[in-house]
């Protein structure tokens, strides 16, 4: 194979390490085929959700393959966007997202005040965590919660007050 170490991997080995959900276990050949398509496909292949003009490319999806690349901003942002959209539709909630790559408009703070929950993905080197802000109504009003799958790694670096400082610096 070629000189690109990210694509010079033992694909059957990657297929065996892919996590599977409890309700569906794809056949190993399916896993190998999907991994091969992601690893060796063209980066500019568009995967467009039908609901709006937001695009994911193959180069974004490849970040989901373990041991190939680190999880990318576009995957995190799109997943959280879908989660907020679904939750709002199912539960009449008022949840929004400040994506890690979203441009910040001057009037954003005023517009955010009307939401009950704001999701803010934060990347620390190659590790992702999620800050959830509750500016709206209810018992959690004014609270900030930080969710981290490895809290011992970032406990001293990211706290609720750090998240607020980060947002203040980003939002101006």
Least confident of 6-15, 20-29, 49-58, 147-156: 6-15
Domain boundary among 64, 85, 104: 64
Mean pLDDT estimate for the chain: 70
pLDDT band per the 50, 70, 90 thresholds, residue 81: confident
Q: The tokens 């934060």 sit on which residue?
A: 122
Q: Does one domain contain both 78 and 134?
A: yes
Asked if 61 and 42 touch (Cβ cutoff 8 Å), the reply is no
Expressed as residue numbers, the domain containing 21 is 11-64
Number of domains within the chain: 2
Q: The tokens 């709006």 sit on which residue?
A: 52
Who has greater pLDDT, 4 or 169? Answer: 169
Who has greater pLDDT, 152 or 83? Answer: 83
CA pair distance 24, 145, nearest whole angstrom? 32
Evaluate if residue 133 carries a pLDDT over 80.
Answer: yes
Would the CA dihedral through 11, 16, 22, 27 be positive or negative?
A: positive
Q: Does one domain contain both 53 and 90?
A: no
Q: Does one domain contain both 36 and 83?
A: no
Q: Please report whether residue 136 resides in a domain.
A: yes
* E-state strands within the chain: 46-47, 56-57, 95-97, 117-124, 127-134, 143-147
Q: Does one domain contain both 87 and 43?
A: no
Query: Going by C-beta distance under 8 Å and a sequence separation of 6 or more, which residues neighbour residue 15?
Result: 28, 31, 32, 35
Q: Please report whether residue 2 resides in a domain.
A: no
């Amino acid at each position: 194979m070629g000189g690109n170490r990210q694509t010079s991997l033992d694909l059957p080995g990657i297929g065996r390490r892919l996590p599977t959900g409890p309700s569906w276990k794809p056949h190993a050949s399916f896993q190998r085929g999907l991994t091969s398509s992601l690893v060796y496909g063209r980066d500019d292949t568009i995967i467009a959700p039908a609901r709006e003009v937001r695009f994911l490319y193959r180069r974004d999806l490849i970040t989901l393959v373990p041991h190939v690349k680190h999880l990318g901003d576009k995957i995190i942002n799109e997943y959280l966007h879908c989660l907020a959209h679904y939750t709002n539709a199912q539960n009449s909630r008022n949840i929004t997202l400040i994506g890690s790559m979203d441009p910040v408009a001057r009037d954003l703070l005023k517009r955010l005040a009307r939401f009950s929950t704001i999701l803010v993905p934060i990347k620390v080197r190659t590790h992702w965590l999620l800050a959830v802000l509750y500016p709206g109504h209810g018992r959690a009003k004014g609270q900030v919660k930080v969710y981290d799958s490895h809290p011992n790694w970032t406990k001293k670096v990211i706290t609720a007050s750090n998240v607020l400082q980060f947002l203040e610096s980003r939002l101006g």
